[in-house]
């Protein structure tokens, strides 16, 4: 297949593009490089630099690349920022996404794989989080993703645009070529590894008095390669569908830090800080539906394997992509 990966110079998009190419697909990438990196674009892929806010630009990229399907990763994704600047999130994640969908409809492209989030559920009523739970987002980031999922349902009904929406929490780890290098890094594992590389003096723990075994938040970490394989499997879905993705387990902040100490052999200092507003004690996703219907099976289900792959990449690229 010919796949257009929108946001393919970013963390998840770059690894998805790599695996698609490794499996014999033809790949084009569309990215504005505001969060992604030119060096993260696989050299085997065709590259279009552009912004989804430019309707003519994305329409031209689709017309020229003639994809069979689109993978959409081009979203703003910082929860804290969304609470300060909701306009950016609704504009980029909903309005700009409409430009992509309209360009697909115009060109007759009938399938989109959407990178969504379990943040659409808000604080869950039970764990693990499955697809039947009520959607009650508590920030503009989650709300914007949920809004776009609703748009997808209408475009399917009216235009016959088939979609698969994949909802997940904490992507982590790396392939041998591509890894996590955000200009503003908010994720725990790369920030802990920065301490191991002596690029940061310490790692911060926000809240140590949660009702968890060690008092710190528990999150579901999913290896980037497993996540990329899920997106590729979704191309085979016979119908529009929503799937949650996770390992079904979870690791606390302290467990992540301790595992990183063991893997890197580095001294990692911590600074304990108060809880952040809106951080639930536990967030764990169920992937049973994805496993049952599309045969997805994660290969990296333990935290050590995830951190080891990230550590190898950060050792090879200590300055990230260097741009």
Catalytic pick among 11, 89, 141, 168? 141
CB of 45 within 8 A of CB of 17? Answer: yes
What is the distance between the alpha carbons of residues 56 and 45, in angstroms, rounded to a whole number?
A: 21
Pairing of strands 46-49, 69-72: unpaired
Candidates 167, 216, 165; CA nearest to 192 is 216
**Tokens 């009904």 identify what position?**
157
**In this structure, what are the phi and psi dihedrals at residue 53, rounded to the nearest 5 degrees?**
-70, -15
Mutual orientation of helices 188-196 and 253-264 as an angle, nearest 10°?
40
DSSP H or E run through 17: helix 11-22
Can you read off the two tokens belonging to residue 99? 């430009």
Query: Is residue 141 among the annotated active site residues?
Result: yes
Can you read off the two tokens belonging to residue 198? 């002596």
Active site residues: 141
């Amino acid at each position: 297949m010919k796949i257009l990966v929108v946001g393919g110079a970013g963390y998840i998009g770059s690894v998805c593009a790599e695996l698609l190419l490794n499996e014999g697909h033809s790949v084009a990438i569309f990215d504005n490089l505001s969060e992604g990196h030119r060096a993260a674009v696989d050299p085997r892929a065709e590259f279009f630099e552009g912004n989804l806010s430019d309707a003519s630009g994305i329409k031209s990229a689709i017309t020229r690349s003639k994809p069979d399907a689109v993978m959409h990763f081009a979203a703003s994704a910082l929860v804290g920022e969304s609470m300060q600047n909701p306009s950016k999130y609704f504009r980029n994640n909903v309005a700009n996404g409409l430009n992509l969908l309209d360009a697909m409809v115009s060109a007759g492209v009938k399938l989109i794989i959407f990178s969504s989030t379990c943040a659409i559920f808000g604080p869950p009523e039970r764990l693990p989080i499955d697809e039947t739970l009520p959607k009650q987002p508590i920030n503009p980031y989650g709300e914007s993703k949920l809004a776009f999922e609703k748009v997808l349902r209408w475009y399917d009904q009216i235009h016959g645009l088939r979609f698969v929406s994949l909802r997940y929490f904490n992507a982590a780890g790396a392939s041998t070529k591509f890894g996590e290098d955000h200009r503003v890094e908010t994720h725990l594992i790369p920030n802990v590894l920065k301490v191991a590389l002596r690029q940061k003096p310490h790692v911060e723990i926000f809240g140590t008095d949660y009702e968890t075994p060690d008092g710190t938040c528990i999150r579901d970490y999913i290896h980037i390669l497993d996540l990329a394989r899920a997106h590729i499997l979704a191309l085979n879905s016979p119908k529009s569908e929503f799937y949650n993705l996770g390992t079904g387990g979870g690791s606390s902040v302290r467990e992540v830090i301790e595992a990183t100490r063991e893997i890197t052999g580095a001294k990692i200092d911590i600074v304990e800080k108060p809880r952040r507003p809106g951080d639930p004690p536990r967030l764990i996703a169920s992937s049973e539906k994805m496993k049952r219907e599309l045969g997805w099976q994660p290969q990296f289900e333990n935290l050590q394997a995830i951190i080891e792959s990230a550590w190898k990449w950060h050792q090879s690229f200590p300055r990230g992509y260097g741009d």
